[in-house]
Amino acid sequence: MDVRFLGRVDYEPIYAAMQALTTERIESTLDELWICEHNPVYTQGLAGKPEHIYNPGQIPVVQTNRGGQVTYHGPGQVVAYPLIDLKRAGYFVKEYVYRIEEAVIRTLMHFGVTGHRVAGAPGIYVRLDDPSGHALLPQRPVKLGSEPFRFAAGSDPNFTGPDFTGLGKIGALGIKVSRNCTYHGVALNVAMDLEPYLRINPCGYQGLQTVDLSTMGVFVSWQEVADVLSQKLTTYLAP
C-alpha cells in the first residue's frame, strides 16, 4: 500500500480526487492510504438529515456519497482515506469496517487510551471517567460464532438503539464502496477545537459527546498520531 501524507488540505478537492482515482483504477492499480488534516468543514452522508445541523455558521457543509450522517472535520484531527480493492484484499465490507476500527483501537492503545466499539454505532468510543481502563462495555457488540456482529433494529427484541452512557466518541467512520473499491474513511481526534460539534448531532445522535486525545489527558502531536495510525491501518488492512 502506498501511504501518502497530504498535510492540511480543503475537503472538496480530496473528495473529488478519491472519486476520480476510484473511477479510473484498474485491476493493477496499487492501493493507497491518504493521511491528511482538513480545514473546518461539515460533511453529510447519504443518510444525513438537515435538522442534525443546528448552526453551521461560517463552516461549509458538503454533501457526500459516503454512508452515515453529519460529522465535522477540522485542524487537530487525523483523517485517513484507504483506497483499497477489497476483491484483491480478500475480505468483505463488514470485515473492512472491523479492521479499520481495530487499527484505531490499536493506535489509541499505543497512547495509553482504551478504545471501545458500541453495538449499532460504527466508530470508536472512550470511557469519559476511565479512558485507560480495560473493563468491557456492557453495550459492546456481541459475536455470533467467529464473526463480529452489530445489533441492528429488529435483530434483538431488547435492543432499542446505541447506548452512549458514560462515553465520548473519539473516532468517526464513514465509507463508500464502488466496484469493490473503497474510499472515504476514518477520522481520529487528536487536539481539536471541539466547539463545532456542539452545532450538530454528531453522526445523527443528539447529545453524543465528542472528545479528543487532549480531552483524555494525552498531549501528543498530530504527526505522532498520524504516523502510528498509518502504520496500524497498513497492518490491519493487509490482505
Beta strands in the chain (DSSP E): 2-9, 32-38, 41-44, 61-63, 71-73, 77-83, 116-118, 121-127, 142-144, 147-149, 167-178, 181-189
**What is the rounded distance in angstroms from the CA atom of residue 10 to the CA atom of residue 38?**
6
Residue 186 CA to residue 68 CA, distance in Å, equals: 12
CA distance 158 to 89: 36
User: How far apart are alpha carbons 166 and 122 in whole angstroms?
Assistant: 17
Number of H helices, E strands in the chain: 4, 12
Q: For residue 130, how many C-alpha atoms fall within 13 Å in the half-sphere facing its CB?
A: 7
Locus of grid cell 472538496: 12
Is residue 222 within 8 Å of residue 78, measured between CB atoms? yes
Q: Which position among 70, 84, 203, 216 bears the catalytic label?
A: 203
- Known catalytic residue: 203? yes
Instruction: Provide the β-strand partners of residue 61.
Output: 42
Give the separation between CA 188 and CA 228, rounded to whole angstroms: 11
- In single-letter form, the type of residue at position 110 comes to H
Phi, psi dihedral angles at 170 (to 5 degrees): -115, -20
Q: What is the set of active-site residues? A: 203
